[in-house]
Structure 1
């Protein structure tokens, strides 16, 4: 697996080739953008390797520039990160350039907020017969994703958690206490804004699965939904709008940021007391 600088260099090559072939075709960024249904600024960001195109855009670029699948093949090679499930690798790339990320987690702490111990417990629960190397790779990849929350250009990050995720001792009481203390620290440092939907919210407590909404500087918002065994990345405006409305309703049913932080800290203390008595 190539390291971050090697991957960035490869995306810069992608951008350089896109610019060269666009200019050979006699097209401006605005003209090419119109032909592949994105803005000219979006094309410029591809060429500067600031953003990565989605697969359907790479395919359309090949069709317009008549490049015999070059950009699709290159995209697939660069996105092919074996540390992630096939359906999730593209999401990781999008997270790196998102300006805002909103997540709802009905059963598990979102990956961007997970500690190593929590990530290890989740990985082992889903894959009880794998090697230590496999677990270490998955945990390392998850922690690497989370680095975006410490970047100077980090996205505005919202997470709505169901209260049940705070109470379930994933990895044991001590690991869970550490996990919740980590979230509380990020919230106090104003790197994230975390809200909790209490159990008393009833029907508001579930949207049917994990949901992640991403917004970008110069691209339409994107929706990612996930079940236990698959995920789907969607950018249909009508579908994204419905998901945004559902997220707004959840936000209205959640506790305030202050009350949510207090509940997270209280749950952490409960887990810590439980760990000290075992």
Structure 2
């Protein structure tokens, strides 16, 4: 990043890096000193300030800067807004809740849930949905999607229970190689203590409940929220009647889906087909 570049010509991460550098210099700190204060290396700080760190600086670093600089939540809030800017505005309310949920109950009917997508699978999805966008825009969206996995690195990560209709596994996104990689990642995720995975097979017949995808978020304060999505956007529901109906639907779906061990077996079978 050229120091003479006008701010309006910088991308959000370059502006973030420039602001970090300006405050660091005003506080008379070296990159090495800031790195020590935030728990990162001098090289890490240098890449942040130049806007070249990929995929982007961590929230831990941003919060460390706020603490070292005495800037409250300035940089952590700035980084959060950058994240939000890479998602559709209607999705941001869900995203904020997903980061705080203690339990995520998801039913996916056509494509794998975003938080479980591989980079190649997400790229194929976005290239299809946003075929007129430039490659840099697509990559930004992919990076934002992959960063959703950071919730599993929290001290108290959520439990994700996902039911994937078999259509999610058989709909070829990006080709056989991409699908093989996606199924391999699902198998890895199923081994995690924080992920419970079931498959709703075609052989189950007519859906036991909803035919549309939905997600239920549960929180430690006993609050529960339902999220549904259509082609024109997403919607949050918190009325007791609506949420209870969704939970009843989810119980039915879990009862009719394959048990976790049989679900893994089916995914392995399909993986062999894609590899062949």
**TM-score under structure 1 normalisation?**
0.70
| 2:90 pairs with 1:87 | yes
SS of match in other structure, 1:88: helix
Aligned mates of 1:85, 1:7 — CA distance in 2: 25
Tell me the number of residue pairs that the alignment of Structure 1 and Structure 2 aligns: 213
Q: Post-superposition shift, 1:228? A: 2.5
With 97-106 and 214-223 compared, the bigger mean Cα shift is at: 214-223
**For the Cα contact (< 8 Å) 2:83–2:144, is it kept in 1?**
no
Aligned with 1:140 (options 138, 143, 161): 143
1:158 aligns with: 161
State yes or no: 1:117 paired with 2:109. Answer: no
Q: Distance in 2 between matches of 1:120 and 1:129?
A: 14
Q: Indicate how the Cα distance of structure 1 residues 228 and 205 shifts in structure 2: closer, same or farther if over 3 A, else same.
A: farther
1:266 to 266, 269, 276: 269
Moved over 3 A (4+): 5-10, 77-80
Q: Indicate the SS of the match to 1:159.
A: strand
Task: Give the equivalent residue in structure 2 for 1:168.
Answer: 171
Query: 1-side partners of 2:156 and 2:199: how far apart?
Result: 26
- Structure 2, gaps ≥5 residues long: 1-11, 17-56
Q: Point out where structure 1 has 5 or more consecutive residues left out of the alignment.
A: 15-48, 50-73, 274-278
* 1:33 match: none
The CA deviation at 1:79 is: 9.2
Tell me if structure 1 keeps the 8 A contact 2:208–2:252: no
Return the offset for 1:192: 0.8
Q: Is the 8 A contact 1:106 1:205 kept in 2?
A: no
Residue 251 of structure 2: which of 248, 252, 255 is its match? 248
Of residues 101, 112, 132, the one that matches 2:104 is 101
**1:1-278 alignment runs, 5 A limit:** 1=12, 4-5=59-60, 6=62, 81-204=84-207, 207-273=210-276
Deviation at 1:235?
1.0
Other structure's SS at 2:205 match: helix
Do the aligned residues in 2 keep the contact of 1:148 with 1:155 (CA within 8 Å)? yes
Evaluate the alpha carbon distance shift between residue 194 and residue 80 of structure 1 in structure 2; reply closer, same or farther with a 3 A threshold.
Answer: closer
Q: 1:18-69: per-residue Cα shift (whole Å, max 9, x none)?
A: xxxxxxxxxxxxxxxxxxxxxxxxxxxxxxx9xxxxxxxxxxxxxxxxxxxx
RMSD across aligned positions (CA): 2.6
